[in-house]
Structure formats: C-alpha cells, structure tokens
Amino acid sequence: MKFNYLYFFIFVFSLVSCNNFYSIEDFSSVEKIDAHFHIYNKASISFEQAKKDNFKLFSVNVYHGNCEEVIESNQTTKSLNSKFPSEFGYASTFCLDGWDKPAWDKNTISWIDETIKDGAVAVKVWKNIGMEFRDKDSVLIMIDDPQFDAIFTHLSKKGIPLVGHLGEPKACWQPIEEMKANNNKNYFTNNPQYHMYLHPDYPSYEEQMEARDRMLKKNPEITFIGCHLASLEWSVDVLADWLDRFPNASVDMAARMGDLFYQTRDDNNKVYDFFIKYQDRILYGTDIGESGGENKESFHKRMHETWLRDWEYLVTDNKMTSHLIDGEFSGLKLPKEVVDKIYAENFKKWYKIF
C-alpha cells in the first residue's frame, strides 16, 4: 500500500513539475502584452504580427521637443485605440512650450485631462527633462522642479500612472569601449548628443537618479512605471534596493535585455532570484517603434524575432547567444505564474487596462 502511494506521489509531482514551465512551443498560445511600444502611424502594420504572436500593444507617446508632434501622436494613438480597443492602449505626454509663463501648469493639466478623456491611461515624461530643456535663465529643468508639482499631484489624485524614462543607462556616462551591452555602444556612437561622457558639464548619472527619487519622495502616492529598468539596468541589486524604497513603482524591461543578458551570463542565480522576488513589479516591453514607411516583412520579422528571443530567455534554460552582448548565457526558466505576471498580469494591474 505504502509502495503504491509513493508511485502515486511521484506521478503527481512529475505532472505538476512538467506543467509548471512553459516551452518555446507555448509562445503563441500565451496572452502577452508589450508594455513599451511606439506607434506613430495611423495605418499601423504592427497589429498583424502582434495578433499572430498573441501580443497586445501599449504605445508610449514621447515629447521629443515639438508640441505639434505631441498633438499628432495623441491623435494617432487615439484613433488606433478606437479601432483596436481590446488590443491597444497608450500613454500620452505633454510639452514644455510656455514653461516660463504662469499658466503653464494649468494648461498642461487641461491637456492631460483631455488626453485621458480621449483614451490615454498614463502620462509619459522623457529624458529631455534633465538633459535638454532649459528655462528662460538657461537653467536645465530637472524632474523634481517645483513647477512639476501641480502636474504630479494631479496625476496622484486621479490615479493616473506616470511613466518615466529619466536619465539614461549608466553606460551613457562611460566611454564607448567600457560599455558592456553592444546596443549601448551602438546607440551612443550614433547619438553623441545624448552620450553624457562627452558632456561633463551636464548633470551626472547620480544627479539624474537623485532628482527622480526626490520627485518620487515628494509624490508618495503616485504610481510610477520606470521605463528601461528605471535606468538602473546595470545592477539588479541596485534596482532591487530602489524597488524596496519606492513601493508604488514598477519597471519595464524595454530595450534593456542586453543588460539583463550580461548580468545573467555573469550570475544566472542572482538574476533569477531578482525576477522571483520582484515578480509583481516587472513588465515586459521592447521599445520597438513604428513610424510609417517600414518594410512590412522585415518589420514583422524584427518584432517576431525580438519577442521570441525574450520568450526563450524567460521561459527556458537554453544556452543562448545574442548580438546584444558577447559570450553565452542561459535562459532563466521562470515558473509559469511568474511568466504570466511579467507578460500580462502586472501590466493589467499597474496600468488598469485590458
């Protein structure tokens, strides 16, 4: 009798352990959300591939320095949202024109409310705050500037999440040859205006992070989603400490897979433990952008290959290589329930849509 029980438990255990992990083949059958995508094209070609791979898309509008562009991207995402209400969501943004005029904050709040009425569910701020915009006295505007207080208080009160890409990867302050992720090497080689190593007169990495944290301390009720692993991509230990300090914050992984890959290559268990411990606060995202004019076939291929590579990394323990880093690393093989959270449940909880 005892013998039969033993076999029974072994049988049940093996069933449970088999079912506790996804495989590569499960990719298209599991519901997923790309929490950090950009679409600037009303006749978007992204949805076709997203549907095939079982992805919903969340587009994050960005103020690159032109108010007209902000209005236009709001129109584009509004129209996509009415076309694909259950497959598409978006964050709006605001511009800094008129910053030095007294009505700036009132006008900005009205604009934000209008975009929320249109269908946006969050508001994005970008790295040009802290790295580019100056007031009438040529002083660089940082994210903890008191003039933002009314805006962020408004978002807190209304329960509208703030999406922040503030600062840059730490590598931005390093010389190209010291950067560990190849994507950083490429980006900063091609965008020297944002390569802060070349601009020592600008705030340091630490000053950018401190300004962001001071803003969060001023607004303890605000829901904050830190894009690109909250610019703390270089160390899961430092990111863990930051998440402990700001319980209303979560992070998306967009465009920082390379940083996760090299930390995994160096210490797989450490990255695995990080994902397990913070499984409710990590959102999958890619930062893929469609601006119109892309070749459909190669764009779809890029979407599919990026999504599939990251799926392999998160659900299997396959030995992998990637153009993002040098050397080999193993996938994390996260349990199903953690994978489901990272790909969909956390998004629904933090953004309150879908």
C-beta of 168 vs 287, nearer to Zn ion: 287
Q: Which residue is nearest to Zn ion (CB)?
A: 287
Tell whether residue 345 is a contact of Zn ion (CB under 5 A): no
Place of tokens 């919903």: 56
Binding part of the chain for Zn ion, among 101-109, 155-163, 283-291, 331-339 by CB under 5 A, reads 283-291
CA 3, chain centre distance (Å)? 52
C-beta of 287 vs 345, nearer to Zn ion: 287
C-beta of 127 vs 170, nearer to Zn ion: 127
Binding part of the chain for Zn ion, among 15-23, 188-196, 229-237, 280-288 by CB under 5 A, reads 280-288
- Give me the least distance between CB of 287 and Zn ion, in Å please: 4
C-beta of 255 vs 334, nearer to Zn ion: 255
- Give me the least distance between CB of 126 and Zn ion, in Å please: 8
* The two three-digit tokens of residue 188, written as one number: 């900063």
- Beta-sheet pairing, 319-320 with 329-330: antiparallel
* DSSP secondary structure letters along 45-89: SHHHHHHHTTEEEEEE----S-HHHHHHHHHHHHHHHHHSTTTEE
Q: Give the span between the Cα atoms of 124 and 284, in whole angstroms.
A: 17
- Give me the least distance between CB of 270 and Zn ion, in Å please: 27
Q: Give the span between the Cα atoms of 162 and 121, in whole angstroms.
A: 10
Query: Is 99 in contact with 140 (CB distance < 8 Å)?
Result: no
Query: Is 330 in contact with 17 (CB distance < 8 Å)?
Result: no
Work out which of 34, 213, 259, 287 binds Zn ion, going by CB under 5 A: 287
- Give me the least distance between CB of 94 and Zn ion, in Å please: 16
Residues listed for the chain: 354
- Give me the least distance between CB of 100 and Zn ion, in Å please: 28
Interaction site with Zn ion (CB under 5 A): 287
